Every structure is written in C-alpha cells, then in structure tokens.
Amino acid sequence: MSSRICLTGLPQRLYNENKLREIFGKHGTITDVSLPGLASGKPGPAFVGFKTPDSAANAVKKENKTYVGSARLNVSLARGIDNNRKRQTPAEPERASKKSKFPPNPEPAEDDIDESAKEKAIAEISKNGRVSIVNLPSCFTEDDLRQLVGEVETKELRCLQDMKTGGCRGTAYVTFANPKKAVRFFKQNNQTLLMGRYIKLYSCDDRHELHPAPEPKRIVPYEAKASVDHGPQSWNTLFLGADVVAETFSAKLDIKKRDLLSGDNKLSPIVALALAEMRMLNEMRTFLTSNGVNLTSFADLHQPRSRKIIIAKNLEAGFTTTDVTNLFGQFGKVKRVLFNEEIGFTAIVEMMNESGAQAAFTKLNGASVRRRPIKLEMAPVSLFDAPIDRELANTELIRRLTKMTVDPEKEDDDDEAEEKPSEPTEAAPLDLSKLLSSTILVELDKELATDVKVSDMFDFSKLRGGKVVGNGFLQCHDPPMAFILFDSPETAEKALKLQKTGTAKSQAFISFSIATTEKVLNGERTAQKTLVVRNLPFDIKESELKPIMEAVGEIKEIRLPESLTGGKRGFGFVEFINPGDVQRALEMLEGVHFAGRRLVLEISRVRETVKIGRVTEKRKNRVKKHELSAAISARKF
C-alpha cells in the first residue's frame, strides 16, 4: 500500500504547501509535499507523503470528496514508480489514457534512469559494499534504517542528523559486510517509496580507504587487540581479572594490595582473592537486579545481541559515571549509563543510535584506558526483559521438562550426572508457567514407590484430543514424586480425571495435582544438601576450599575424590547442613575464580551423602587397584 496521496482539481488558493499540511496533518506525520504545478504557474496535481501507509489510507478515507470552502477535494493513493518500464523516446511519446484510473505521474525525472549510471553504481557497490541513501524524511531514524536494511551484518549504519533539531538531514550511509547483499539492497530499494518520499540510492567511496585512521599509540606493556577481542559477546560477562579484584577490593577496604593478599596468614592469597571476588560479584548482581537488569540473559551465548547496549568491563578503580559518559559520549549521544561507583569495574552503556554504539565498540574494545585494556561486549537483546525465577529454572523437573520439549530423544536418566562434567544449566527460553501447567505431579509413598510405573497411574486410552509428551520419576525430591508432561494445560486438566483407582498398586499414589512453582521448589529444597564443585585445581586442599564454602553457610562435610595415583580429580562434593544453602551457593559463587579457574557448580543428583560417597569411592579404588595389579601380573614380558 502506498504512503503517498494525490490530489487533483485543487484551486489556486489551496495549491499551497502550508494549506495542505494544515488540512492533512491531523491524519499522521507528513514527510513530503510536492507541488509540480508551481514551476509552470498553473495548479496541477499535488502529492502529500505520510510516514506510514495507514495514515495515507486514512487521509483518503476521511478527506476524499469533502469540501474546503466551495472546493471539492479529490484524494486518492498515488501510483508508484515502475523502475522496469522502458524510457520513452521523442519519436514514441507515451499516450495517456483519457479514462486513466490513476493520475499522471508528476515526477517524470524519476522514470528517466540512466542505465549506464546504474550499472556503474552497481559495479562500485560490488567492490566496497557501501551505499548512500538520499531524500529521506526528517523523522527518519537509525531504527527505521535498520528495519529497511534488515537483519544483515553491516560494518557501518549511519543516519546524518541535524545538530540543532536532532532530525535526519535526509542522507544515510550503509556499509554491508557482504557486497553481494549491498547490490541486492540497491536493486530492491532504488527509486522506491519510503515514508511518502521516493528515496534514491547511490554508490559512494569507502571513507576508510580515502581517509585511513592513524595508528593508535601503543603503550608498553601492550597487549595485542587480537588477543583481547573475542567478538561482540563472551562466555563470562561478569568476568573480573585478579588484578582488578585485588586493586578494587583493597581500595574499598582502604588498605594496600599486598596487605589484602598477605592477610593474617590464616588465608592463602588465592582464597582471599576468591572471597573478595565473590563479595564484589554479589554486590554487582544486587545493583544490576535493582536497576531492572535480567541476569539470566547472560547465560545464552547464542541469543541475539543488542546493537545499542554495550557492557564495558575491566574499568580501573576510581572511574565515575561522568567518566563513563564522557568516554562513550565522544562517539554519539548516550541514552543512559548503569554504573555503581562504589563497586566499579563494570558498566552498562546504552547509546542513542546504532552508529554511535558501533563506533564506540570498534574504537574502544581492547584499547588502553588509563593504562588498562578495556573490554567491551554487546549486551543480549533481553537484557532489560523481566527475569524468570533462576532457582526454578535450575530444578531437576524444569531441566528434564526442557529436554523433553526441545529434544525428546535426549531425555535420559541423570543417575550418572556426577561422572560427566558439564556447565550449569541456566534458564531456557521457554514459558515456564505454561510448562508447569501442562505437568501433573504424583506424590508417591516412600515404601511402595520402588515398584510402580507411570502406566499404573492413569488410563491413557481414554484420553481424547491430546497426548503425553513424556514422563519420569524425580530423583532429587522429597517426598518422592513422578511427573507426566502433556502437550497443553487443557490436556493435563482432562488427565486428572483419568486416575486409576481400586487397583493393587493404587495405594502407592498419595496425591495427584498440577505442578506449581511452590511445590517444585519446596520438594527440591528439602532433598538438596550436596553441591558438586567442578574445575578445581588438581593440587587443591580441603583447607583451601572450606573457607569459601563457609562464607555461604555451615558445612557438614567436604569430599575431594582422588585418583589411583593419589592426586585430586578436579572436582569435589560439599554437603551443607541447611538445604537452603545449596541454592544460595549457586548464586553467590557463580562466576567466582579460584587459582585462575572459574568454579562450575551444580546440584548433586546422587542421593547418597558425602560420607557414604567417601566409603564407596575407597571401595571402588581398592577394586580398581586389585584389577590393575592382576592385569600387570598376568602380562607376559
């Protein structure tokens, strides 16, 4: 639908731009008023462009065949330009039909496209991938430009702005990463109608080749940008270097850095750094959460990244909000800055325009700021979305329901979870409330729960208009629970009425109910007391790990499994006295480093305690040593 309207039969007194804006301005934002008859001095067709096609359609509906004084308005949608139409030669003039449904095109210059110039422009664009767009309306923004370009990779996307009014100056530049897509964009959008104006596309020289930027001054010691820059995202958004932790925390305590690391000889330097980092990270998370930041958005590395929001890391102690604003303000207008001056080292900067954010990321990422390389990361698009319950997302039920929903073939038993190192699972991009509403929880009798099946609970043959997605038994839940996932909440409600009663095994089923957040969390909190800590150094001692865990809650026992040679195996088990401390440890120790290694924590899915696990491990090691000795003695040399 066209966003441009045509008016015919206007009298001389109405053939005026201000008059037309006054008449049609109430229907939407006017981007252009064209009066071709002014050149000849005779009133002719007039054209009014709107920002949206809906505004143009509304103007035709409301103003067509209405009167302004004694003059009747004839309003219709303007006909677009046909770029594929052949140019007319003087010997073959175009004959306009007397009964033409559409008015004549008042801008014949738009049809007279020089094919040779067009081919030359395409040839230049295919080399550098840079396109300039002109005749844009003043209300055009970089967001509109991104919508026009689409979700394609660009090196530059810039809309020239008037410094006084802040509006568009009518010109924009786009540099595509792939020149082929630039050529396609030129062919599809040249001489097309956009917001009531016919835009024109041209090729332009690569400004980086014509005006190369000077080489940045290298300050010794210098770390090459190639080794610092890991692209627009990183695997650990809230990463802190050991020097940043020591310097910032010592400044906060008003002590020297060496005093923090030496301490009172009760804690080793690596333990002191880990405790300091844990405290600083938790203060930072509290600050970000209070300002509406969704921390779970950092977990998904494959999530699309924002083009305007930047996370700046590794800032030196003493940085202020004004310093951050001035640092990024040299590349464009800054919309807002989230920075806690007491905590420091990490800031979230939202730029007003995409071009400013792109320029800041290119120039500052890896650059030395106050003798320290600053590290930038483009924030996830869901950074300011409403966060989901992280504790709920990490429960065994949600983890298994997510596997069943995303990939049913990968749903398996988690009995051997401790033997397989894995990253902690974060929030999945699913509707957890709908997932729970589609699940039935069955509470089982502790003594009779070992000899029942899901098929003993319901008569699925009577289920109509729905299906079972999956089912299973929860290992980390007290009391014992079974679950059945259906394709919709409606199907789950119907299935509640299909319970089997009066059978020999029906005594094992205590209650049936739709899953709720409270039931799931309470059941896991009661059962969870042991935490698995992975990625530990192989020379770690229990006396080093214990102070870190005691900062979370009271410890019952710690076990660091050993290999056959006597060395540690790189992971350990921590059993808390209070079950609620397990979830607290997951939140407090997330992202904390110990001896240069990032701690990876997850809830133990094995029901045995740490003490029983130590006995089991010794028994297994004795068997393995006996088998190894027998194999060596049986070997013939």
Tell me the average pLDDT across 607-616: 57
Output the furthest CA–CA distance in the chain (Å, rounded): 117
Residue 387 confidence class, pLDDT cut points 50, 70, 90: low
Distance separating the N- and C-terminal Cα atoms of the chain: 88
Query: In Å, how far from its chain's centre is CA 283?
Result: 23
Q: What is the CATH number of domain 225-380?
A: 3.30.70.330
Q: Which pLDDT score, from 0 to 100, does residue 454 have?
A: 64
Percentage of the chain exceeding pLDDT 70: 69
pLDDT digits (tens, 9 = 90+) for 513-541: 888 888 877 777 666 678 889 888 888 88
Whether residue 444 contacts residue 508, with contact meaning beta carbons closer than 8 Å, is answered with yes
349 has a pLDDT exceeding 90: yes
- Count of CB atoms situated within 10 Å of the CB of 66: 12
Cα separation, 594 vs 274, whole angstroms: 6
Residue 292 confidence class, pLDDT cut points 50, 70, 90: confident
CA atoms within 13 A on the CB side of 445: 10
What token pair was written down for 546?
A: 């214990």
620 Cβ contact partners less than 8 Å away, ≥ 6 residues apart:
none
90 has a pLDDT exceeding 50: no
Q: Which pLDDT score, from 0 to 100, does residue 623 have?
A: 62
543 has a pLDDT exceeding 70: yes
What are the helix (H) ranges across 234-302?
242-253, 257-262, 269-290
Cα separation, 577 vs 556, whole angstroms: 5
Residue 326 confidence class, pLDDT cut points 50, 70, 90: very high
117 has a pLDDT exceeding 90: no
Of residues 189 and 207, the one with the higher pLDDT is 189
Percentage of the chain exceeding pLDDT 90: 9
pLDDT digits (tens, 9 = 90+) for 412-468: 444 333 334 444 444 344 677 888 888 888 887 766 656 666 666 666 667 777 788
Residue 384 confidence class, pLDDT cut points 50, 70, 90: confident
pLDDT digits (tens, 9 = 90+) for 190-249: 888 888 888 899 998 755 444 444 544 444 444 444 444 444 444 455 656 666 666 666
Q: Which of 108-122, 241-255, 459-473 has the highest average model confidence (pLDDT)?
A: 459-473
Tell me the average pLDDT across 614-625: 63
Pick the range with the lowest mean pLDDT from 9-18, 399-408, 436-445, 521-530.
Answer: 521-530
Pick the range with the lowest mean pLDDT from 21-25, 242-246, 355-359.
Answer: 242-246
Considering the four listed CATH numbers 3.40.50.1980, 1.10.540.10, 3.30.70.330, 1.10.150.20, the one that applies to the domain covering 113-210 is 3.30.70.330
Cα separation, 425 vs 490, whole angstroms: 29
507 has a pLDDT exceeding 60: yes
576 has a pLDDT exceeding 70: yes
* CATH class name, domain 4-77: alpha beta
> Where would I find the beta strands (DSSP E) of 320-374?
334-338, 346-351
* CATH class name, domain 390-517: alpha beta
Q: What kind and span of H or E run contains 523?
A: helix 517-527
Residue 184 confidence class, pLDDT cut points 50, 70, 90: very high
Q: Which pLDDT score, from 0 to 100, does residue 419 have?
A: 39
> Where would I find the beta strands (DSSP E) of 352-467?
375-380, 439-444
Q: C-alpha distances in angstroms, 374 versus 124, 309, 318, 575, 604? A: 37, 16, 14, 39, 38
Q: Which pLDDT score, from 0 to 100, does residue 254 have?
A: 64
Tell me the average pLDDT across 159-168: 80
Task: Tell me if residue 306 falls in helix, strand or coil.
Answer: strand
Query: If you average pLDDT over every residue of the chain, what do you get?
Result: 76
Tell me the average pLDDT across 284-299: 80
What token pair was written down for 4?
A: 């441009």
- 528-620 has the same fold as 390-517: yes
Q: Which of 77-91, 196-210, 484-498, 599-613 has the highest average model confidence (pLDDT)?
A: 484-498
417 Cβ contact partners less than 8 Å away, ≥ 6 residues apart:
602, 604, 605, 606
Residue 597 confidence class, pLDDT cut points 50, 70, 90: confident
> Nearest Cα to 176, choosing from 162, 156, 158?
156
Q: Which pLDDT score, from 0 to 100, does residue 198 have?
A: 86
185 has a pLDDT exceeding 90: yes
Q: Which fold has domain 528-620?
A: Alpha-Beta Plaits (3.30.70)
- Count of CB atoms situated within 10 Å of the CB of 274: 25
495 has a pLDDT exceeding 90: no
Domain boundaries, the chain: 4-77, 113-210, 225-380, 390-517, 528-620
